[in-house]
Amino acid sequence: MGRVVTAEERQRLFEDIREFLAAEFEVDPAEITEETDVVNDLGGDSVVFLEMVEELREKYGIQVEVRTIGQFMLRRAITNIGQAVDALCEVIEKGEELIAQEEAQAT
């Protein structure tokens, strides 16, 4: 089992995601909220999610593979920033347990 993500860490994760997406799409970070839809509002795609996850994996020391995190996010039909933040918090909290769950669902 991983660890519990605090409200402050969740907020920091949101801010990191917002900064990444603002740079990626050349928009003002203030325009990006938890309700912002990456595909419909920003014109992004799943590749952007994977690039973002890779960058955050390094910053937050997440040991779960990007592919596993991507499958996890696809199964939850993540579309907006708030959902992505919650999913990544769950990845941080579950860690290795998440890998086992995703591998079991893949078979």
Q: Answer whether 37's CB lies under 8 Å from 79's CB.
A: yes
Mean pLDDT of 28-57: 91
The CA distance from 107 to 76, in Å, is 18
Which pLDDT score, from 0 to 100, does residue 27 have?
Answer: 95
The CA distance from 31 to 100, in Å, is 37
Taking all residues of the chain, what is their mean pLDDT, rounded to a whole number? 88
Question: Model pTM?
Answer: 0.86
Using CB atoms within 10 Å of the CB of residue 60, give its burial: 0 to 12 exposed, 13 to 18 middle, 19+ buried: middle
